A = this chain, B = another copy of it.
Amino acid sequence: MTTTLTGASIIAGEAVEGINGTTRAIDPSTNTPLEPEYSKLDSTQAQQATAAAAAAFRDYRATTPQARAAFLDAIAATIEGRREQIVERAMAETGLPSARLTGEVGRTVGQLRLFAGVVREGNFHGARIDPALPDRSPGPRLDIRQRRVPLGPVLVFGASNFPLAFSVAGGDTAAALAAGCPVVVKAHNAHPGTGELVGQAITEAAAESGMPAGVFSLVYGSGAEIGQQLASDPVISAIGFTGSRSGGLALADTAASREVPIPMYAEMSSINPVILLDGALSSEGVGAQGLAEQFVGSLTGSSGQLCTAPGLVFVPEGEDGDAFVTAVESGLEGRPGQTMLTPGIADAFAQGVSAVEDQQAVATVARGVAGEGENAPAPVVFSADLAELRSNSVLSDEVFGSASVIIRYSDIGSLSEALDELEGQLTVTVHAVDADTPAAEALLPTLEDLAGRILFNGWPTGVEVGHAMVHGGPFPATTAPATTSVGSLAIERFLRPVAYQAVPAVLMPEPLQDANPWSLVRQNDGVIAKGQ
């Protein structure tokens, strides 16, 4: 089934033509604009989306687990049914290859289905029951029960680098809908057509599933104007954002300075340190050569435009480290760049690379070649020593794209100190064999304080969507280190606990009823028990 792109916003199921100018996608491989034109909403039009979300909130949050899960499944099925059209449009808008985007469709629908399962399972209600103790001394205890309720309408800003999995029906949208929150998505202007296709799929799924129309809206407009307006709107109760540090911080300021401040979940900036330990480099297994090949693959995949791309690699001084550097050099030689997402991102990459290159104590290890077409700059790897990293903040600024800095270190003590000085990260990676265990053990507390995900003997790119995943981390990786934007724990972003004290049985919400009609795992007087 193929649908037609209209170039309009979708507010509570209706197409709305904006009256505030237009915008178009650009094919970054050719710098040519794509049809159709997307009309941008003015502030009065955009406000209709939040009003519709507010109007839908209480009906939506009252939906049964079955109905809400079916809605999420219906979104997944509708997107899946249009995979080819979505992939084709996303290729034109982002320059990303077909295989990557096909995989991203799979991830997006898998994510929606994961949250459907979370809704059916119901652990997220966080049900707790402290039974009455009428005979307790010195005073009786009343019956007190706790569950989590949804916060209210959520505003989502998607990312340019994941036009599906972190965009209109991405992780924040799936988690918020699962929690019982209506969603207003500010469409990303770099992939408006992909966004509309997915927005249409959600809209159709909502109608089919009997959801209130205001449960979802997709709004086209200027981020600085309409985005900020939506973030300030009194009915919005939380914001999910994936993107640049400057964009995230501007929205975080808005969220904090509202009359009623709201949680702002921004995933922003990370350089994802990778630590190669001696044993791993000299191992007869993967070794220096294999690690270098893996590194180049991880760095250049998706043109390095991944939040978890390895921007900093710590390599020990000595022969094995030298062998790694040499292998990176030959691995990158002649390697062509791939099209980046937008001309603006390609420009920012060029500037970031220049800034690093301009540092006196930085050497260029290797550089590939520009790829075919526009906006396909050469991947590049620099090197510097630990002292330079510690004294020069340019080396720890994120350069979004295929650029990385190799840092040579002499001993675990000074490596550990340097890691303690880094800003918060989404990930930190260690390559280690058995012989490296003492070093890895010494580093572990540092790694835990540094990042949201610690991984061994792999590469940080590629984020599994599951129950145990954390895609988050200390500032500036995110503005909210206690949460994750990927995986089932993300639903907690959009919930808050409410206690029910001596509430009559007839009024008690299902998750807290004595009969436990939803068969939830609940905490009874501090003890977790299933189906009681």
* A residues neighboring B (CB under 8 Å): 58, 61-62, 103, 106, 117-118, 121, 123, 128-130, 138, 141-142, 144-146, 149, 151-152, 252, 256, 260-261, 263, 423-424, 432, 437, 440-441, 444-445, 448-449, 451-458, 464, 466-470, 472, 474-476, 479, 481-484, 488-489, 492, 495-504, 506-507, 521, 523, 525-528, 530
The residue in chain B whose Cβ has the minimal distance to the Cβ of A466 is B130
Q: A152-B449, A454-B501, A526-B488 are in contact. Are A466 and B261 (CB under 8 A)?
A: no
Q: Which chain B residues border A495 with CB–CB below 8 Å?
A: 482
Write the nearest CB–CB distance from A444 to chain B, whole angstroms.
Answer: 6
Asked if residues B437 and A507 are in contact (CB atoms below 8 Å), the reply is yes
Q: Which chain B residues border A521 with CB–CB below 8 Å?
A: 528
The residue in chain B whose Cβ has the minimal distance to the Cβ of A152 is B449
Asked if residues A454 and B489 are in contact (CB atoms below 8 Å), the reply is no
The residue in chain B whose Cβ has the minimal distance to the Cβ of A486 is B499
Write the nearest CB–CB distance from A353 to chain B, whole angstroms.
Answer: 26
Q: Which chain B residues border A458 with CB–CB below 8 Å?
A: 142, 501-502
CA distance A356 to B449 in the complex (A): 50
CA distance A205 to B456 in the complex (A): 39
Q: Is the interface of A mostly helix, strand, loop or mixed?
A: mixed
Asked if residues A499 and B468 are in contact (CB atoms below 8 Å), the reply is yes
Q: Which chain B residues border A261 with CB–CB below 8 Å?
A: 252, 475, 479
Q: Which chain B residues border A437 with CB–CB below 8 Å?
A: 504, 506-507
CA distance A510 to B39 in the complex (A): 55
Name the 10 nearest CB pairs between A and B, nearest first. Answer: A455-B501, A470-B499, A146-B468, A130-B468, A453-B499, A128-B468, A144-B468, A130-B466, A256-B256, A481-B496
Q: A130-B464, A528-B530 are in contact. Are A144 and B504 (CB under 8 A)?
A: no
Q: Which chain B residues border A252 with CB–CB below 8 Å?
A: 256, 261
Count of identical protomers in the assembly: 2
Q: Which chain B residues border A476 with CB–CB below 8 Å?
A: 260
Q: A448-B149, A467-B128 are in contact. Are A497 and B475 (CB under 8 A)?
A: no
9 residue pairs of the A-B complex, CB under 8 angstroms, read A62-B445, A121-B527, A128-B467, A452-B498, A454-B503, A464-B501, A467-B526, A468-B499, A481-B496
List 9 other contacts, CB 8 Å, given A129-B468, A453-B500, A469-B499. Answer: A128-B467, A128-B468, A146-B489, A454-B501, A455-B500, A456-B503, A458-B502, A472-B496, A489-B497
Asked if residues A523 and B467 are in contact (CB atoms below 8 Å), the reply is yes
Q: Which chain B residues border A472 with CB–CB below 8 Å?
A: 496-497
Write the nearest CB–CB distance from A119 to chain B, whole angstroms.
Answer: 12
Q: Which chain B residues border A482 with CB–CB below 8 Å?
A: 151, 263, 492, 495-497
Q: Which chain B residues border A474 with CB–CB below 8 Å?
A: 260, 496
Asked if residues B141 and A466 are in contact (CB atoms below 8 Å), the reply is yes
Q: Which chain B residues border A142 with CB–CB below 8 Å?
A: 455, 458, 464
Write the nearest CB–CB distance from A137 to chain B, whole angstroms.
Answer: 11
The residue in chain B whose Cβ has the minimal distance to the Cβ of A478 is B496
Q: A451-B498, A481-B496 are in contact. Are A468 and B62 (CB under 8 A)?
A: no
CA distance A458 to B499 in the complex (A): 14
Write the nearest CB–CB distance from A35 to chain B, whole angstroms.
Answer: 33
Write the nearest CB–CB distance from A81 to chain B, whole angstroms.
Answer: 19
Q: Which chain B residues border A424 with CB–CB below 8 Å?
A: 260
Asked if residues B117 and A466 are in contact (CB atoms below 8 Å), the reply is no
Write the nearest CB–CB distance from A201 to chain B, whole angstroms.
Answer: 22
Write the nearest CB–CB distance from A460 to chain B, whole angstroms.
Answer: 9
CA distance A469 to B496 in the complex (A): 13
Asked if residues B454 and A500 are in contact (CB atoms below 8 Å), the reply is yes
Asked if residues A440 and B499 are in contact (CB atoms below 8 Å), the reply is no
Q: Which chain B residues border A118 with CB–CB below 8 Å?
A: 526
CA distance A271 to B440 in the complex (A): 53
Q: Which chain B residues border A488 with CB–CB below 8 Å?
A: 526
Write the nearest CB–CB distance from A135 to chain B, whole angstroms.
Answer: 15
CA distance A479 to B497 in the complex (A): 14
Q: Which chain B residues border A130 with CB–CB below 8 Å?
A: 464, 466-469
The residue in chain B whose Cβ has the minimal distance to the Cβ of A453 is B499
Write the nearest CB–CB distance from A71 to chain B, whole angstroms.
Answer: 20
Asked if residues A448 and B141 are in contact (CB atoms below 8 Å), the reply is no
Among B62, B106, B121, B499, the residue within 8 A (CB) of A454 is: B499
The residue in chain B whose Cβ has the minimal distance to the Cβ of A255 is B256
The residue in chain B whose Cβ has the minimal distance to the Cβ of A103 is B138
Among A441, A506, A507: residue with most chain B CB under 10 A: A507
Q: Which chain B residues border A489 with CB–CB below 8 Å?
A: 128, 146, 497
Write the nearest CB–CB distance from A397 to chain B, whole angstroms.
Answer: 15
The residue in chain B whose Cβ has the minimal distance to the Cβ of A123 is B528
Write the nearest CB–CB distance from A323 to chain B, whole angstroms.
Answer: 24
CA distance A492 to B497 in the complex (A): 12
CA distance A449 to B106 in the complex (A): 36
Among A441, A458, A526: residue with most chain B CB under 10 A: A526
Asked if residues B504 and A464 are in contact (CB atoms below 8 Å), the reply is no
The residue in chain B whose Cβ has the minimal distance to the Cβ of A506 is B437
